[in-house]
């Protein structure tokens, strides 16, 4: 069937990753797909370690004391907890299960920050008992924490989370009046509370806005100290951008993509797409935050430590997701519908009215030299029209065949499991860890099913 290149969306390849290509090139994905009998996620913990080290390096280069807390919601795998525990990195949790998992893997309570709104009793109790740092989100929550500190006879370590003036519609944090009351309450609570500082978490990826807000928190610390409170650290949350693709491809995609290039004429608001290209990203974004308004200097002068909670940025290039092609259907209008052996719930952009844009890569079971390019969208093996992994028509190098694999690159940050569901009783895709210590490459399951 003739497929016109023009019917496909402009290409958006992920940055080349020769090391990962070498890992995928030796038949490992085909072997795992056969063994596991369904889609799976590959995890590359060395990349996580390297990303973590890059953030710490930026802090020490700038002469700023601080700590990196991995925002656990970005990916549930156990291996990240092991890595944080071993390297002494912190973990940011927002639910009792996340806290249990972190502690269970050896992350020390003192290295955990607890965020999230209206935290449940069980979460707060364990957090106080384990000496975690609690980012207080509301005045009633502060009362709850003080009461728990008194019943457990353990001082509660708290940060006061500020409602960002730049994002007044956020549902998180305390406004200026509430902060004032919270500070008075902390001072009055005496030994029940150690008020260690302030926090915020901003939507978006603006480094300038983060530096500005961080500077304001430094001033708040200085004021809080006048009341006899410790106030010697601030947390600037997460939101360090990930750079998935190069500037040229991204600009062309935004310029040329249109509804005809999507299955069923679907359209997404460009503003809802993740910014897949960012000239300043990851640890580089932290460097930019520290340089703006001389934040680094202000932190040093004020003796304020900088805490940060990156999720996505620590997982950059630390994993990918592999589906098997189950069927291919040609549409007379010049494209195909590829159905894979899983669902779009393993590629979570639904909450953002969006789709994951880095192009999937076809690994043909039988490479065919003379093949014609083929435009296709990608659907899940479910009975819902809306279960599409990729609505847009991606130009694949050849018409896929059942048994071929389709690899979605760089999915560890939020794509793998935040929206996962065993819909249709499809099993959740297992996570396979690729270990490279000791020279060779070996794989294992992230969580053993019998453990």
Ligand X SMILES: *Cc1c(COP(=O)(O)O)cnc(C)c1O
Interface residue with ligand X among 51, 75, 111, 115 (CB under 6 A) is 115
Q: With contacts defined by CB under 6 A, name the span among 183-191, 235-243, 342-350, 420-428 that binds ligand X.
A: 235-243
State residue 391 phi and psi, 5-degree precision: -75, -30
Choosing from 9, 32, 296, 313, the residue that interacts with ligand X (CB under 6 A) is 313
Per-residue binding letters, 408-437, with ligand X (x by CB under 6 A): ------------------------------
Task: Give CA torsion, residues 223, 224, 229, 232, to 10 deg.
Answer: -80
The contacts of residue 3 (CB under 8 Å, 6+ apart) are 334, 335, 336, 372, 373, 374, 375
Between 311 and 429, name the residue whose CB sits nearer to ligand X: 311
CA distance 164 to 209: 10
**Nearest CB to ligand X, comparing residues 135 and 224:** 135
Stretch that binds ligand X, among 25-33, 206-214, 234-242, 286-294 (CB under 6 A): 234-242
Residue 237 binding ligand X, by CB under 6 A:
yes
Q: Which residue do the tokens 């390096």 mark?
A: 57
Provide the strand spans (E) within 128-268.
133-136, 156-161, 193-199, 233-235
- Closer to ligand X by Cβ: residue 9 or 52: 52
Of 172, 160, 164, nearest to 221 by C-alpha is 160
Q: Cβ 94 to ligand X, closest distance in Å? A: 7
**Residue 173 near ligand X by CB under 6 A:** no
**Binding segment for ligand X among 66-74, 333-341, 373-381, 442-450 (CB under 6 A)?**
66-74
> Residue 299 has which token pair?
């932190």
Give the integer Cα–Cα distance in Å for 337 and 237: 40
| Residue 165 φ/ψ, nearest 5 degrees | -55, -30
Our finding on whether 92 is near ligand X (CB under 6 A) is: yes
Tell me: does residue 210 bind ligand X (CB under 6 A).
Answer: no
* Best CA proximity match to 128, nearest among 105, 106, 151, 107: 151
Positions in 69-88 near ligand X (CB under 6 A): 71, 73-74
Which of 310, 336, 358, 429 is the binder for ligand X (CB under 6 A)? 310
Neighbours of 129 (CB within 10 A): 14
Among 45, 239, 284, 342, binds ligand X (CB under 6 A): 239
How far is Cα 139 from Cα 119, in angstroms, rounded to an integer?
Answer: 12
Q: 73 or 233, CB closer to ligand X?
A: 73
CB of 192 or CB of 220, closer to ligand X: 220
Q: 199 vs 321, which CB is nearer to ligand X?
A: 199
Contact with ligand X (CB under 6 A): which of 98, 137, 309, 420? 309
Q: How far apart are alpha carbons 338 and 251 in whole angstroms?
A: 27
Q: How far is the CB of 113 from ligand X (least distance, A)?
A: 8
Q: Which helix (H) or strand (E) holds 43?
A: strand 40-43
> What single string gives the DSSP state of each residue in 301-353?
HHT-EEEE--SGGGGTTSEEEEEEEEEEEEETTTEEEEEESS-GGGS--GGGT
CA-only gyration radius of the chain, Å: 24
163 binds ligand X (CB under 6 A): no
Size of the site for ligand X (CB under 6 A): 15
Q: How far apart are CA 49 and CA 56, in angstroms?
A: 11
Can residue 312 be called a binding residue for ligand X (CB under 6 A)? yes
Q: How far is the CB of 236 from ligand X (least distance, A)?
A: 9
In angstroms, give the least distance from the CB of 287 to ligand X. 16
The smaller minimum CB distance to ligand X, of residues 261 and 278, is found at 278
Question: Would you mind telling me the total number of residues written for the chain in this entry?
Answer: 451
Among 39, 173, 215, 311, binds ligand X (CB under 6 A): 311
Q: How far is the CB of 311 from ligand X (least distance, A)?
A: 3
Is residue 10 near ligand X by the rule CB under 6 A? no
How many helices (H) and strands (E) the chain has is answered by 12, 17
Compare residues 7 and 418 and give the one whose CB is closer to ligand X: 418
Distance of alpha carbon 291 from alpha carbon 296, whole angstroms: 6
Q: Which stretch binds ligand X (CB under 6 A): 260-268, 309-317, 320-328, 335-343?
A: 309-317
CB of 196 to ligand X, least distance (A): 16
| 305 lines the binding site for ligand X (CB under 6 A) | no
Closest CA to 243 of 12, 8, 11, 10: 12
- Give the Cα separation of 101 and 99 in Å (integer): 5
For residue 240, the minimal CB distance to ligand X (Å) is 6
Note the residues at the interface with ligand X (CB under 6 A).
71, 73-74, 92, 115, 201, 237-240, 309-313
């Amino acid at each position: 069937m003739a497929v016109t290149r023009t019917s496909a969306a402009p290409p958006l390849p992920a940055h080349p990753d020769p090391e990962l290509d070498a890992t995928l090139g030796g038949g490992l994905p085909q072997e795992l797909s056969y063994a596991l009998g369904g889609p799976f996620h590959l995890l590359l913990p060395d990349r996580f370690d390297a990303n973590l080290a890059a953030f710490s390096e930026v802090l020490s280069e700038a002469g700023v004391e601080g700590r990196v807390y991995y925002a656990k919601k970005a990916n549930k795998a156990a291996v990240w907890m092991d890595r944080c525990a071993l390297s002494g990195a912190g973990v940011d949790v927002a639910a009792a299960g996340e806290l249990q998992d972190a502690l269970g893997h050896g992350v020390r309570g003192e290295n955990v920050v607890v965020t999230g709104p209206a935290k449940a009793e069980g979460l707060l109790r364990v957090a106080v008992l384990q000496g975690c740092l609690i980012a207080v989100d509301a005045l009633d929550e502060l009362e709850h924490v003080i009461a728990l500190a008194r019943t457990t006879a353990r001082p509660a370590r708290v940060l006061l989370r500020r409602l960002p003036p730049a994002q007044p519609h956020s549902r998180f944090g305390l406004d200026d009046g509430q902060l004032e009351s919270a500070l008075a309450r902390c001072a009055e609570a005496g030994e029940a509370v150690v008020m260690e500082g302030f926090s915020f978490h901003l939507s978006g990826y603006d480094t300038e806005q983060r530096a500005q807000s961080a500077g304001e928190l430094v001033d708040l610390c200085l004021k809080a100290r006048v009341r006899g409170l410790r106030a010697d650290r601030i947390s600037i949350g997460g939101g360090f951008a990930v750079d998935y693709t190069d500037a040229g491809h991204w600009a062309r995609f935004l310029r040329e993509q249109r509804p005809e290039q999507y299955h069923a004429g679907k359209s997404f608001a460009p503003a809802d797409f993740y910014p897949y290209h960012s000239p300043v990203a990851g640890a580089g974004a932290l460097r930019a935050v520290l340089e703006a308004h001389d934040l680094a200097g202000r932190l040093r002068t004020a003796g304020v430590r900088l805490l940060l909670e990156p999720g996505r940025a620590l997982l950059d290039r630390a994993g990918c997701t592999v589906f098997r092609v189950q069927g291919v259907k040609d549409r007379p209008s010049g494209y195909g519908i590829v159905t894979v052996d899983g669902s779009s719930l393993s590629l979570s952009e639904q909450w953002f009215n969006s789709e994951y844009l880095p192009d999937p890569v076809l690994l043909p079971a039988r490479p065919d030299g003379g093949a014609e390019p083929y435009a296709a969208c990608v659907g899940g093996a479910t009975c819902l029209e809306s279960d599409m992994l990729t609505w847009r028509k991606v130009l694949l190098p050849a018409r896929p065949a059942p048994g071929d694999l389709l690899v979605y690159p760089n999915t560890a940050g939020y794509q793998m499991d935040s929206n996962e569901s065993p819909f249709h009783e499809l099993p959740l895709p297992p996570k396979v860890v690729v270990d490279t210590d000791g020279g060779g490459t070996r794989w294992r399951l992230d969580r053993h099913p019998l453990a």
